[in-house]
Amino acid sequence: MAEKIDIAVAWDWEYDRDFISLIDAECRRRGLRMSAPGAGDARAVASALKSGTLAIGTFLDRAAPDEEPFAGLSAAMVTSGARCLNPPDAMRKAADKATMHLEFLSHGIAVPYTIIISPYSRERQVELSLEQLARLGRPFIIKPANTTGGGAGVITGAETLKDVIDSRKHHQDDKYLLQERVVPAELAHHRAWFRVFFVCGGIFPCWWDDITHIYSEVTQGEIGSLSLSPLISITREIGEVCGLGFFSTEIAMTSGGSFLTVDYVNEICDMRLQSRQADGVPDRLVLTISGLLADAASRNGGE
């Protein structure tokens, strides 16, 4: 008879340790069994799934779904019939900011003015019209489409075409996005820049200062009094577009009152605790998210 695990969370980042512990504690409270395979366990878990000696109800991938040993683990989860909160194909699609930009445009989700540039390895020359450069403004943002974890490769103060040419050489096989710089409004003594978490249908907006990266939760009262309900509806629509069960997005409100999605989908959210890192996620919210993930495993087990 197969050993049964209610939820498995793959991870490979040392700062996930607290988050993993909280999910495990929430699972134990509900009488659920959790597994947390790291790089040293992934192949063994995949092998057990393939042989039928292990059955996993729900799977959350917080590792590297396109890199071994996690690619094999992710594939085994899909084949075994585990419910993947973030399906591998959806994660790959969501990680590509160029693809998400086009998806958002086609679904009417407002985004900053953006120009998508082919990979340097495919096209070395960059041709931009004076009209395009004028619309981008100065400074503008340069970001690789797929290599931006933790802000890697992002330039927020680009000024010239030379900046574009030089940047593309760092990730030569990646597409690049040139994006107008969005300046958020000032709202209730905050910069009106938000990071919003989507967790199994639940939506949790946070103030997220784009300069200091410090979080604070948006209250229900603020959603009403400051007319922030678009944060909820936009994030819900992003969830439908990307097909992920757990992600975050960044949305800014401009001085004119428009809401722009400025960083599309973070398919592996940084869940460091604010009590341990100043720029971490508020502890209460991390605990809430941990409970929702355990609830998702519980519902799946009852199906």
Which tens digit of pLDDT belongs to each residue from 50-109? 999 999 999 999 998 788 999 999 999 999 999 999 999 999 999 999 999 999 999 999
Q: Which of 105-114, 141-150, 224-233 has the lowest mean pLDDT?
A: 141-150
Phi, psi of 204 (to 5 degrees): -135, 100
In the chain, where the domains are located = 3-85, 87-111+183-266, 113-180
97 or 120, which is more confident?
97
Which CATH superfamily includes the segment(s) 87-111+183-266?
ATP-grasp fold, B domain (3.30.470.20)
Going by pLDDT thresholds of 50, 70 and 90, the confidence category of residue 299 is confident
* pLDDT for residue 149: 56
Rounded Cα distance, 210 and 205, in Å: 14
Which CATH superfamily includes the segment(s) 113-180?
ATP-grasp fold, A domain (3.30.1490.20)
R_g over Cα of the chain:
20
3-class DSSP state for residue 54?
Answer: strand
Which strands make up the sheet holding 259-266, listed edge to edge?
215-217, 202-208, 193-199, 246-253, 259-266
* pLDDT for residue 195: 98
Rounded Cα distance, 90 and 87, in Å: 5
Give 71-83 pLDDT, tens digit per residue: 999 999 999 999 9
* pLDDT for residue 64: 82
This prediction's pTM: 0.93
Q: Does domain 3-85 have CATH number 3.40.50.10140?
A: yes
